[in-house]
Amino acid sequence: MTTPHFIDGRWVEGQGSDCIVVHDPSSGQPFAELMAASTGQVDQAVAAARRALAGWKTVTPAERAAYLRGFAEQLGQRRDELIALQMRNNGKPRFEAEIDLDDAIATFAYYADLAEQLPGKNRDVPLAAPGFTARTRLEPVGVVGLIVPWNFPLVTSAWKLAPALAAGCTVVLKPSEVTPLVEQAYGQIAEQLGLPPGVLNIVNGKAETGAALSGHSGLDKLSFTGSNGVGSQVMRAAAAQCRPVTLELGGKSAIVVFDDCDVDQAVEWIVAGITWNAGQMCSATSRLLVQDGIADALLPRLQAALEQLQVGNPLLEEVGMGPLTSQAQWLKVAGYFATAREEGLKCLAGGQALDRDGWFVSPTLYVDVPTSSRLWSEEIFGPVLCARRFASEAEAIAQANDSRFGLVATVCSADLERAERVADALEVGHVWINSVQAVFVETSWGGTKGSGIGRELGPWGLSGYQSVKHVTRCLG
């Protein structure tokens, strides 16, 4: 058993009724247990954050920046430990776990810089009417609840923690019960840096703990990353309190390949977009739209690339894709393989759960998938790619936009003017042109339609934790 909860600057044992069992997805074997937080402990965490708010929001931006740089430095010093834990609990190959850690470090460093650049509390506002003056203030929104998923722990928590702390908010963080261990590093670092008690609180648990946090009347804002089903529950809980939310939800993203594209380069981008993190990404480009003129050359090479991808234990250097992170996700993806067989989809590669220890599936390619198929429209959260052909640019845009999601997309074309034009026409929050999914902390992250509300990263991520106040004074 570990001591999993960091409340008011102290580590405490869980008092909830659920025992969380942490597994290694490469073997399916458990390697840690912890007791969930009780609803009373969630109350204690929120109360601690509330008590700490008055002091933390008056700390100078430079002082907050120093703490954030401390987080970045300490993450770097714990590099080997955190990479190993990401590999063991998530099933990520080493190169993916390394990028995750670098992302978290970059996020804290970026928001440290942004905190130092915050304008003074008061800024004059010119008025057309005589006899009045006005000023504006940016203030922290208050106590925020942060709920993060299991596919990118350490990363999604950094995306929320760093801007919230930079803005002067105090936080209660709830990691996923599937991957609760790596986020404990944030509590350990807070202790080491002497972060004031209550500024950062961490409570672990399952659905009961998440519901207690998302419905808590002591919060001023909620930020959630995860599935649409849970996101809608979080939004209902926030609505009951008339509380603002940021939601980063699902996706069913398109990758559009035009016939002037280099075939081998396109295959590289397609494979990366569907097999990174074993396809367990809201941004996975799981709908392939390929122009008629290149389809016959591209699809066989794509099939070969997926079949040659080494799937296995991430500790092995030659492995390019690890297991799914949980048995529940393995069963879900296996269910979609069964649905594909029932629908009679044409499978060029994969299409099966692998018969071995651990939660492995094969990278999969279905072709000529009708838009009526569940696999075409539903988020699978696994390495399952569905392909369709298109004839014209207009048809590609129409098919890409025909989705209830709108998170990301990728456009592949040697005609950069066309690629930019298509990118502008796609109804999503982020578009890559001729690239893998390179995510930079300076850019925004978030989507349209059913993919969520609000933006993370960049200055937009900081503004999500700030409240605007105007003060108007009559001079008469």
Catalogue the active-site residues: 248
Cβ distance 274 to 384 under 8 Å?
yes
Residue corresponding to tokens 């200055």: 459
Count CB neighbours of 305 within 10 A: 18
Which are the contacts of 398, defined by CB distance < 8 A and separation ≥ 6? Answer: none
Radius of gyration of the chain (CA): 23
Count CB neighbours of 307 within 10 A: 13
Count CB neighbours of 308 within 10 A: 11
CA angle 373, 377, 382 (to 5 degrees): 100
CA angle 65, 70, 76 (to 5 degrees): 130
Instruction: Give the distance from CA 21 to its chain's centroid.
Output: 23
CA angle 342, 290, 93 (to 5 degrees): 75
Residue corresponding to tokens 């902390």: 441
Distance CA 294, CA 451 (A): 30
Which are the contacts of 142, defined by CB distance < 8 A and separation ≥ 6? Answer: 53, 169, 170, 219, 220, 221, 467
In 75-206, at which residue ranges do the beta strands (DSSP E only) sit?
123-124, 132-140, 143-147, 170-174, 200-202
Distance CA 399, CA 253 (A): 11
Instruction: Give the distance from CA 204 to its chain's centroid.
Output: 18
Q: For residue 124, list its beta bridge partners.
A: 135
Cα–Cα nearest to 263, from 413, 378, 138:
413
Grouping H, G, I as helix, E, B as strand and the rest as coil, residue 8 is coil
Which are the contacts of 347, defined by CB distance < 8 A and separation ≥ 6? Answer: 340, 364, 365, 366
Which are the contacts of 338, defined by CB distance < 8 A and separation ≥ 6? Answer: none
Distance CA 255, CA 434 (A): 10
Q: Which two tokens stand for residue 39?
A: 């609803």
